[in-house]
Structure 1
């Protein structure tokens, strides 16, 4: 019962923040303000849900609370795609001007990269999950180096466009992108939701899960595909937010005090929405758009990451 009360409090806090965000300084211009702010809220809910769920599943699979799916190099691949298109075709090319095409290109290439990586590394039986993470780090570093190399060669005006792509933003999001992202996420959850029942067992570790009758490799491969798709969608929709998943999932663990993923999934989604809506309010009302939401999230998440490392080191 205590968990249900906590869920109610989180849901109420999220709804209150959303109501404040929708109505603050509206000045009676509801016909103009409500549609624009509604798009931001929808984008925040989609992004928060995708990042929270994928990070929680990823940490459960790896049995490590300081890892996030960004370790697979998908954020770096996103920046490489944006940089490559601008470097070769320019910022006025159809791929950059057409947000729908750019979104589908980024999602498609990131999912394709993940699928090829999983196919190669899981081709042999008994492949260690940490080997996959190591390869992801290597590819992430490679993609980042290639993107940086092309960035120093482009025109300064083109470089500014690349810089804008490197920070997550919920401003001026295309209506069609939100619709496409929403449909894709619904399809992903509809197919992969049936694997959630294994998460509690997977959190015990590979050997224990196998002993309890779980087809470990089959389940983990499908869950990793879901993680890759969701991270690709959220990154292509608003841009990379590196530390959001690390922050909200660990706060969820501390707040919920349970390992039941039924509560952890919903709790992390609510906390993610709270963090994003609250952060967007700070960006708009305190900093008056002089900074971006990803800067605030990454700063807070980075400090919390250092705290987690010191905490784990102290426990050793």
Structure 2
């Protein structure tokens, strides 16, 4: 039953992608299709990466309330962009080829996020309150550092940083999208191969070790895969904090399964569906250029509050 639902999600995504590309298509067809295909690819990659990465993060942390963005990853990205503009300047940063800049950002984010999440998960994975508070404090610290540095900038350089602070799907280069898709597909394939071990790891460290699983090795592998997914999606379009929480919660409700072989593709497909459907409605049906990331963050934040209140009543 769960496998069938995942199949229906895949078919729905294919149909929606076709509608996104072909809706009210006019000449010049090749040029317009190229622009739409690049935006569609970014939407699918970011949605899939956010959903699958959050499932991995919730498994290794042992809690369904957490998402990588909640523990300061978005603030880390903003700080990194701020420092780049400070040292290189807006003109110097724009002079770096897009592909090289993308690779440098992905590498820096992957290393920093692996260190950050490894620090959070080393001892306090079971203490959810301490984990959330630690992540929030780290986020506040990183944002404070970013704001302090931004006050030293020229207005033109600050405008460059401000543009990078919000997710945008309209400034994706095809070369960057191709590299992001390759990394994402490789990470998803590796995560699916780890699915049986992740099922056992989700039972808890003591139980998993009692069943003969090298829990620490599995957690480190999942952490590296999650860091790769989140780093690629963030470097591609910018930070989106609550999309992963939204897709992971919907995937669990829809599939009613604890198997990662089901949850990972379901969350990836739902993340892509949410972004493609939202962009299609705003751009094609309503003719609006509203920021999709703002709407996703709003509903994702509401869902987080509902989950916290629900757990508190229990």
CA contact (8 A) 1:22 1:34 kept: yes
Equivalent-residue separation in structure 1 for 2:228 and 2:83 (angstroms): 21
Please say if residues 247 and 304 of structure 1, whose CA atoms lie closer than 8 Å, have aligned partners that are also in contact: yes
Alignment partner, residue 23 of structure 1: 22
| Structure 2 match to 1:61 | 60
**Partners of 1:118 and 1:221 within 8 A in 2:** no
Confirm or deny that 1:129 pairs with 2:128. Answer: no
> Could you say if the C-alpha distance between residues 310 and 120 of structure 1 is closer, same or farther in structure 2, counting changes exceeding 3 Å?
closer
1:187 CA displacement: 3.9
Q: Once superposed, what is the RMSD of the aligned Cα atoms?
A: 2.4
Q: Which moved more, 1:113-122 or 1:80-89?
A: 113-122
Q: Please show how residues 193-208 of structure 1 align to structure 2 within 5 Å.
A: 193-208=192-207
CA–CA distance in structure 1, aligned partners of residues 96 and 232 of structure 2? 19
Q: Could you tell me whether the CA contact under 8 Å between 1:74 and 1:232 is conserved in 2?
A: no
1:96-121 CA-partner distances (Å, limit 9, x unpaired): 65322321222121222234456778
**Pair 1:245 & 2:244 matched:** yes
Rounded to whole Å, the distance in 2 between the matches of 1:246 and 1:93 is 36
Quick check: 157-166 or 279-288, which moved more?
279-288
* Inter-partner Cα distance in structure 2 for 1:218 and 1:128: 17
TM-score (normalised: structure 1): 0.89
**Contact between 1:79 and 1:166, CA under 8 Å: does it hold in 2?**
yes
State the match for 2:215 in structure 1. Answer: 216
Mapped partners of 1:261, 1:229: distance in 2? 18
What do residues 153-193 of structure 1 show as CA deviations (whole Å, max 9, x unaligned)? 32333322222211111113111101221232344345554
Q: Using the TM superposition, name which of 20-29 and 223-232 deviates more.
A: 20-29
Per-residue deviation, 1:90:
1.8
Cα deviation digits, residues 192-232 of structure 1 (max 9, x gap): 54322212112221221111111111111111111112111
8 Å CA contact 1:107, 1:236 repeated in 2: yes
Measured in 1, the distance between the counterparts of 2:33 and 2:301 equals 33
| Alpha-carbon spacing, 1:290–1:154, altered in 2? closer, same or farther (3 Å) | farther
- Preserved CA contact (<8 Å) 1:95 1:102: no
> In the alignment, which residue of structure 2 is the partner of 1:108?
107
Aligned residue pairs total: 311
Secondary structure of 2:30's aligned partner: helix
Counterparts of 1:89 and 1:130, CA distance in 2: 41
The alignment's TM-score, normalised by the length of structure 2, stands at 0.90
Counterpart check, 1:277 vs 2:276: yes
* Contact 2:52 2:267 (8 Å CA) reproduced: yes
Greater relative CO (CA pairs within 8 A, separation 6+): 2
Partner of 2:149: 150
Deviation string for 1:22-44 (max 9, x for gaps)? 11121253212212111122222
